[in-house]
Structure 1
Amino acid sequence: MDNSSLDGLFEELLETESLFKNKEVLRPAYTPENLPHRSDQINNIATVLVSALRGHTPSNVLIYGKTGTGKTAVARYVGIELERKSDHLNVQCNVLYINCEVIDTQYRLLANLAKQFGEDVPMTGWPTDQVFFRFKEAVDSRKQVIIIILDEIDKLIKKGDDVLYNLSRMNTDLQNARVSMIGISNDLKFTEFLDPRVKSSLGEEEIIFPPYDAEQISDILRQRAAIAYKENSMDDMVIPLCSAFAAQEHGDARRALDLMRVAGEIAEREKKNIIEEEHVRQAQEKIEVDRIVEVIRTLPTQSKLALYSVMLLRNNGHRNVTTGEVYNVYRQLCRNVDTDILTQRRVTDLISELDMLGILNAIVVSKGRYGRTKEIVLSVPVESTKKVLLEDYRLNMLADFKPVLTAQMHL
């Protein structure tokens, strides 16, 4: 390949002055030095964890709240302050953060924890008991208090709660060290699936994070915008509009920060000197499409086949299709990819699940003496949805599939 054609590829882009001073402050991983409207929650967690600075074992804490209510930011903020104060007091105290959406098995969690204490544990291959023993030995090698923050703890529990049982009981085997846990979840009901013994020890303290209102989100955005963007790079209506959109999403500050960041990126691509309302509206649309695309990408194959059936009917001129029509096309698709054909009742359940995810809109209608059925309308962009579905190797062979439509379907 002739590399001379790539000369100056980024020159023109670099010559355009960026609107951002520090884009990272608008990302979820950033922990700000000040957290507006969360002083009560900060004080509640600090009141529990102060025991660590006295060399005692803090109670385990469960933190609940919807997405974007500041749970992770507050837990990490208090953790940073705790470590800072422990250094000042010359008390050994460490805070470990684990994202259970990424590290979602008992073995991987224990291996990750052991590695943070310098243990050479492979990410697969050892008996789990051996990994736990190595972690326990490393922790107990000196007098210290360890706080383990388990973010999205409900993702871990889906694969069993043995690891939580072991961690919650390990203090009885330790001579020098003490271990406490902070579990963070968006799901208020996840403890219903826990062993009662784990539930009682894990939920010694519970802290609820309420959603932010639009005014509170505006305060958060103003604080971050001052660090993230250059002066006078934003129209006055940008922050109120981001706040209003996010308030509709149950007070999701993370969504508001994403909106403000993506709006800035869109303005930059358009070579604008200022972020305007229109950029926020475009960002809202882009984020929504990206979210739906990610949901569709992670659907089980059977759900993808049901969704693709609806899309094929739509492409054949059907605007409001029924479950019977979908099932007819679904069976044809299953035969083509040589997979099990589910019952019509089960496919109807899959359609209801797609409706709950906002991918379809399924409305129950009466057909008089013919009974009741569901009329199904797509709620997602057709082209991007089709592209994501065909990324699945099993559906890829169906790219040019033409369903056989029965005469009854045209009545």
Structure 2
Amino acid sequence: MNSAEDKSLDNIFQNLLSMKGIFQNREVLRSSYTPDYLPHRMDQINAVAEILVSALRGESPSNILIYGKTGTGKTATLESVSKKLMDLAEKMNVECRVLFINCERIDTQYRILAHLARHYNREVPITGWPTDQVFNEFRDALDKKEQVAIIILDEIDNLVKKSGDDILYNLSRINSDLKKAKVSIIGISNDLTFTDYLDPRVKSSLGEEEIIFPPYNALQLSDILEQRSKMAFKENTLEPSVIPLCSAFAAQEHGDARKALDLLRVSGEIAERSRDSVVKEEHVRRAREKIEQDRITEVVRTLPTQSKLVLYSIVLLDKGNDTHELNTGDVYNVYRRLCRMIDSDVLTQRRVTDLISELDMLGIVNATVVSKGRYGRTKEIALSVPAESTRKVLLDDYRLRSLKDSKPFYNQQRL
């Protein structure tokens, strides 16, 4: 970069910094921020506190399973209650620790036990030890003194589906091995049915108490956004209709407060980049489109190659078909053709049908089972996302790049 370009870049940043911004503190609109007060969650806060207060008496609280869809305040509630619990324990000189583990990142029995052992200053390698040895390290370190340890396993359903319930079995029985310390387990799940995957003994001991977090409705979401907006935005920078619109859109998405907050934040960012001094409804609608497009892009980008080939088959058929609904056979025939073009393994039609169902669950396609009478049943398939932008994301994958010039063909698909 030459000096002129460097100076020009400096000027760009100086000009941007000199602009009158809309935000006062945009960080309060991110899901990582936990406010001092959580609107419409006092019932759940009280329920958790009534169980965990035992720890302040040096007793082991009951194990808890907490259920609720994404964005219903589960993690924020546990973080808030845990902080208050730890503060009070320190004032009362009670030995109590809260160990918070995100099971999406720390997702195996070994990693969880190693993480817990390291919390008690035990050196455990990333891999290499027998799991029993890691468990013993944690147990022995924990039992050095009288204390209560509350282990919170966030997204516990991901852990169970990926790694089974061995870790839960071991942790739920650990109190019988301890002489001084006591352990309580709290599992946070987005999936109400995840306990179907558990051994009955684990299910019984882990689910001593259950707390449900219902979705927020539009009015409750408005209260949450009103609370955050006062901290996030400068005065008089929001049109009155902005928060109700963000809340209404998020209420349609299962009452997800995270989505409501994201929508309000992105609306403000779009307004700011447009050099507008006030966030308006049009910014909210543009933000909604952008967030959805970003979500689709990320989902499509991270699909396995075979799923991408199935989706690209649907994209091609969608572009070349104005006459009738696509079905599984149509997609499979085009899929086989594409596999041959890039020398990829060809899956069975049954497996491709499963992949179509997975795309349906992700919201990328809409696949409806229909009866064809004596010809059996099939799926009628339609794209739920813009074809051209989906095509571009798929072709960013080097393995599919050679398919770029494939034409929208419908009458060629029956091979």
Range into which the TM-score falls when normalised by the shorter chain: over 0.9
SS at match of 2:33: coil
Instruction: Identify the range of structure 1 (163-172 vs 199-208) with the bigger mean alpha-carbon deviation.
Output: 163-172
Task: Give 1:92 deviation, angstroms.
Answer: 1.2
Amino acid at match of 2:35: P
Is residue 2:133 matched to residue 1:130?
Answer: yes
Give, in whole Å, the separation in 2 of the partners of 1:124 and 1:304: 33
Identify which of 109, 132, 142 aligns with 1:139: 142
Q: SS in structure 2 opposite 1:10?
A: helix
Question: In the TM superposition, what whole-angstrom CA distance separates every residue of 1:70-111 from its partner, at most 9, and x where no partner exists?
Answer: 111111111001001101101011111111111111112122
- Cα RMSD of the aligned pairs, angstroms, is 2.3
1:5-404 matches, within 5 Å, as 5-7=5-7, 8=10, 9-158=12-161, 159-316=163-320, 320-363=325-368, 373-401=378-406
Could you say if the C-alpha distance between residues 384 and 96 of structure 1 is closer, same or farther in structure 2, counting changes exceeding 3 Å?
farther
Q: 1:407 to 1:160 in 2, by over 3 A?
A: closer
How far 1:294 sits from its partner (Å)?
2.5
Q: For residue 2 of structure 1, what is the aligned residue in structure 2?
A: 2
Aligned-residue offset at 1:352: 3.0
Q: Is the contact between residue 332 and residue 403 of structure 1 (CA under 8 Å) also seen in structure 2?
A: no
Number of residues paired by the alignment?
410
Q: Is the 1:57–1:178 contact (alpha carbons within 8 Å) kept by the matching residues of 2?
A: yes
Q: Is the 8 A contact 1:213 1:247 kept in 2?
A: yes
Asked whether the equivalents of residues 65 and 185 of structure 1 are also in contact (C-alpha less than 8 Å), the reply is yes
Once residues 193 and 115 of structure 2 are traced to their aligned partners in structure 1, the CA distance between those partners, rounded to angstroms, is 27
Q: Residue deviations 1:196-245, cap 9 Å, x none?
A: 11111110100011111111111111111111111111110011101111
In the TM superposition, what is the alpha-carbon distance from 1:351 to its structure 2 partner? 2.0
The 2-side partners of 1:210 and 1:146 are apart by: 28
Distance change >3 Å, CA 336–CA 223, structure 1 → 2: same
CA distance in 2 between counterparts of 1:366 and 1:191 reads 34
Give the TM-score taking structure 2 as reference length. Answer: 0.92
- How many Å apart are 1:370 and its aligned residue? 6.8
Structure 1: 5+ residue stretches without partners:
none
State the Cα distance separating 1:378 from its structure 2 match: 1.5
What percentage of aligned pairs have identical amino acids? 66
Q: Alpha carbons of 1:190 and 1:370: their partners in 2 closer, same or farther (altered >3 Å)?
A: closer
Counterpart CA distance in 2 for 1:373 and 1:129 is 49
Q: Which shifted more, 30-39 or 283-292?
A: 283-292
For the residues of structure 2 that align with 1:157 and 1:371, how far apart are their CA atoms?
Answer: 36
Give the C-alpha shift of residue 53 in structure 1.
Answer: 0.3
Task: State how far apart, in whole Å, the 2-side matches of 1:144 and 1:381 are.
Answer: 56
Gaps of 5+ in 2: none
**Shift of the alpha carbon at 1:194?**
0.5
Shift of 1:4: 4.4
Shift of 1:369: 8.2
Is the alpha carbon distance of 1:332 and 1:32 closer, same or farther for their aligned partners in structure 2, counting shifts above 3 Å? same
SS of residue matched to 1:31: coil
**Following the alignment from structure 1 to structure 2, what is the Cα–Cα distance between the partners of residues 261 and 408?**
45
Equivalent residues of 1:101, 1:155 under 8 A apart: yes
